[in-house]
């Protein structure tokens, strides 16, 4: 079997930045076990698999399937546009574990229509979590959960940039992923980093799905419906966020294809 495979740097317009995703587009669906093996082989945070027969889109980390992935969806739409299957101004709806997700090819990049997630804010963060992140309780101004994921708010962006979590300790705690965020600087409304050692991704470079919750939090706090977010990983990436009254958020970003090839299985 031979399959076309691509690697795309998402939420960036230049190579070696943003979040790398592998993209595999096939006429018919693949077995889940094979998709997991391919994702392990590709060894990036997520590999996206699109079945053209029904527009079913699935995402796998090297260790597990995930139910929502922003950069993998953006990367898939980018490849469809690059290959002539999605013209500028056109939209495509993917069927996913998180329901229908629409991607639109814009003039400057891809715009994703994703569900807004509302973090449930709690009185204080677990002490074990803060210790694993390298944060003191007095540095934290807010803590919440969205599904199995967690949100930690600090007031100094430099704390976000300087984080050096203990991933072995994090992995031993309950959870699926944790976003640490702060007010932004200059042109950015907020900055964040996202850690997910529970699914084999110590730090995700740019996380569209986490911004479904970050958009809700920062929109309410700043009183703004349009936000520019920066994910401050080593690679870095910029996300344009626009909240809608229908409980959705538009997440926009660029993409750059760095690899196109053939998988021989």
User: Mind telling me the catalytic residues?
Assistant: 46
- How far, in Å, CA of 230 to CA of 240, rounded? 9
Adjacent-strand bridge partners of 249: 114, 243
DSSP per position, 94-154? EEETTEEEEEEE-SSSEEEEEE----EEESS--HHHHHHHT--GGGEEEEEEETTEEEEEE
What are the φ/ψ torsions at residue 55 (nearest 5 degrees)?
55, 30
Q: 67: helix, coil or strand?
A: coil
- How far, in Å, CA of 22 to CA of 240, rounded? 22
Structure-derived torsion over alpha carbons of residues 94, 99, 104, 105, reported in degrees to the nearest 10: -40
Burial class, 21, CB count within 10 angstroms (exposed 0-12 / middle 13-18 / buried 19+): buried
Q: DSSP 3-state helix, strand, coil percentages of the chain (rounded to 5)?
A: 25, 40, 35
Nearest to 8 by CA among 55, 83, 76: 76
C-beta of residue 120 within 8 angstroms of C-beta of residue 142: no
């Amino acid at each position: 079997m031979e399959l076309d495979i691509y690697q795309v740097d998402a939420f960036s317009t230049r190579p070696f930045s943003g979040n790398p995703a592998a993209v595999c587009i096939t006429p018919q669906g693949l077995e889940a076990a094979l998709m997991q093996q391919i994702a392990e082989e590709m060894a990036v945070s997520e590999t996206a698999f699109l079945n053209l027969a029904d527009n079913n889109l699935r995402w796998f980390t090297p260790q597990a399937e995930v139910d929502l992935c922003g950069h993998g969806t953006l990367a898939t739409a980018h490849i469809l546009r690059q290959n002539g299957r999605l013209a500028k101004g056109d939209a495509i709806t993917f069927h996913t574990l998180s329901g229908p997700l629409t991607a639109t090819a814009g003039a400057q990049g891809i715009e994703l229509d994703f569900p807004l997630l509302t973090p449930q804010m709690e009185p204080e963060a677990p002490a074990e979590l803060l210790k694993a992140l390298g944060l003191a309780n007095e540095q934290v101004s807010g803590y919440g959960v969205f599904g199995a994921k967690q949100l930690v708010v600090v007031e100094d962006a430099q704390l976000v940039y300087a984080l050096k979590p203990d991933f072995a300790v994090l992995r031993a705690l309950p959870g699926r992923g944790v976003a640490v965020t702060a007010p932004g600087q200059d042109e950015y409304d907020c900055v964040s980093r996202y850690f997910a050692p529970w699914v084999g991704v110590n730090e995700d470079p740019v996380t569209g799905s986490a911004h479904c919750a970050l958009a809700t939090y920062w929109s309410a706090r700043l009183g703004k419906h349009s936000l520019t977010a920066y994910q401050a990983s080593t690679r870095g990436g910029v996300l344009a966020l626009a909240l809608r009254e229908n409980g959705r958020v538009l997440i926009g970003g660029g993409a750059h294809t760095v690899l196109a090839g053939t998988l021989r299985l």
